[in-house]
Structure 1
Amino acid sequence: MYKKIIVTVDMSSFAKAERILQRAAALADQGGEIIVLNVVEDVPNYIVIDLPQDLVTEAIRSAEEKLVGVCRMMKLTAFVDIRTGPPASCILAAAEEHQADLIIVASHVPNISNYFFGATADRVVRHAKCSVLIERR
């Protein structure tokens, strides 16, 4: 079905990772590629002063370790891509760079704040140049 699938994993809802990775494995072509993507958001400068210097580095290391571990546990061959920056922009850039034909995004049920600020999944759906699957469960 799909040759290259970007699977976005938010470490704050890591429990959903296995389920969306199973979905990606089921949707991938024989020999298809799965890219597991996590985005570590930049910390604003006015907050950085009060935080440990290696906070972002540690978040990247931890995310990579957990994602490689879950892929290994599932016996899933996947490339792990960790980026820093605004989540929606990073997801869209990764999809373009990897020439993905599907992005899978786990999303929560929208609440009132989404109508004012928008969610990452909303932005990805609006601007992606490939198909997007929103996993809601």
Structure 2
Amino acid sequence: MYNHILVPVAPDHINDCSLSLDAASRLLADGGTVSVLSVLEELPSYIGSYFPAEQVQKSVSEFEERLGTAVEASNISTHVVTGHPTNSILDWAEKHKADCIIVASHQPGLSDYLIGSTAARVVRHAQCSVVVLRGK
């Protein structure tokens, strides 16, 4: 059983995280917590320069609200950060002392064999246990 489980959720899959949260609830120790993390990728500087400086924070705040609404439970906290998905997940897990990461994975395509999926990179580099839920 784990005391702090991190469940990364892709921004376009916030309504599809019930399997991950169900797995987390089954693996969670009594009194443990689940953290749901979404990572919004930063805009390239050549695109970001066309937006007001506060646009990124506004987008994060709006997405935090959507995520909080989609995931409602007393022992689940939601977090939204900006950055590279894999690095942000790994950094967040280490900083907040997650002892397990539950990551969803899709069936690999050709691009996954060439550069690797986020789930694959998390599995290879995480400093804690990782549970991979295979999707369709």
Fold in common (TM above 0.5) = yes
Using the alignment, how far apart are the partners of 2:107 and 2:62 within structure 1?
27
State the partner residue of 1:79.
77
Corresponding residue for residue 32 of structure 2: 32
2:110 to 101, 108, 112: 112
Match of 2:67 in 1: 67
1:74-131 Cα offsets, whole Å, 9 max, x none, are x342122211111111111111111111001112111000122221111111100111
Deviates most, 123-132 or 62-71: 62-71
Q: Distance in 2 between matches of 1:27 and 1:117?
A: 30
8 A contact 1:40–1:56 mirrored in 2 = no
- Separation in structure 2 between the aligned mates of residue 88 and residue 70 of structure 1, nearest angstrom: 22
Q: Helix, strand or coil: the match of 2:71?
A: helix
Tell me the TM-score normalised to structure 1 length: 0.88
Q: Can you give the 5+ residue segments of structure 1 that lack an aligned partner in the other structure?
A: none
**AA paired with 1:121?**
A
2:31 & 2:70 partners in 1: Cα distance? Answer: 20
In structure 2, relative to structure 1, the CA distance for the partners of 1:28 and 1:41 (3 Å cut) is same
Shift in alpha-carbon separation, 1:54–1:135, aligned structure 2, 3 A? farther
Give the gaps of 5 or more residues in structure 2. none
**Secondary structure at 1:34's aligned position in 2?**
strand
TM-score under structure 2 length normalisation: 0.88
Whether the aligned pair in 2 keeps the contact of 1:105 and 1:133 (CA below 8 Å) is yes
Which 4+ stretches in 1 moved above 3 angstroms? 49-55
Residues 6 and 37, structure 1, Cα contact 8 Å, conserved in 2: yes
With over 3 angstroms needed to count, the CA separation of the structure-2 counterparts of 1:112 and 1:51, relative to structure 1, is: farther
1:41-70 C-alpha deviation (Å, 9 max, x unpaired): 111111224456554333312321122112
1:19 & 1:65 partners in 2: Cα distance?
A: 21
Distance 2:122 2:14 in 1: 19
Instruction: Work out the CA distance in 1 between the residues paired with 2:26 and 2:122.
Output: 22
- What percentage of aligned pairs have identical amino acids? 40
**Residue 57 in 1 paired to residue 57 in 2?**
yes
1:123 alignment counterpart: 121
